[in-house]
Amino acid sequence: MQHLDPVAAHAFLQAHPRALLVDCRTEVEHMYVGHPVGAEHVAWQEAPDWEIDPEFADKVKWLVGGDLERPVLLICRSGHRSVYAGEALEAAGFAAVINVLEGFEGPLDDEFHRSTLGGWRHRGLPWQQS
């Protein structure tokens, strides 16, 4: 699995229009916190039970039309859940999996706030709320 910071991930998406950006956060995070413009949403896990979706890889396969060579970038809140989701995609045969470091909101700062030290949104990259 490759790892790119948000700026490099955005540049990769611009240079590779066939690449797919998958937001693997929960539906609530995706809708209310915001998400990168153009990201497809496939939750790795959902509240309240937080069980991993056993169909996650199949859902992403459907999005890429079965083309397991197509680059897939994964983003979550801080770049950790997306690693596990990426490992599942690699185990399912995906050849080009990229984790977005820092995620959408970045790490916690000293005040326990996100979006102040890093992340897609903090870096000023295109995003929207539903």
Query: Per-residue pLDDT tens for 26-41?
Result: 999 999 999 999 999 9
Query: Which tens digit of pLDDT belongs to each residue from 48-96?
Result: 899 999 999 999 999 999 999 999 999 999 999 999 999 999 999 999 9
CATH number for the domain spanning 68: value is: 3.40.250.10
Quick count: other Cβ atoms within 10 Å of Cβ 55? 11
Number of domains in the chain: 1
Note whether 82 and 76 are within 8 A (CB): yes
Q: Mean pLDDT in the chain? A: 96
Are residues 120 and 6 in contact, defined by beta-carbon separation less than 8 angstroms? yes
Q: What whole-number distance in Å separates Cα of residue 8 and Cα of residue 92?
A: 25
pLDDT-derived band at 130, boundaries 50, 70, 90:
confident
Q: What is the pTM of this model?
A: 0.96
Per the domain annotation, does 51 fall within a domain?
A: no
Strand partners, 4: 100
Full residue range of the structural domain in which residue 76 is found: 2-43+57-128
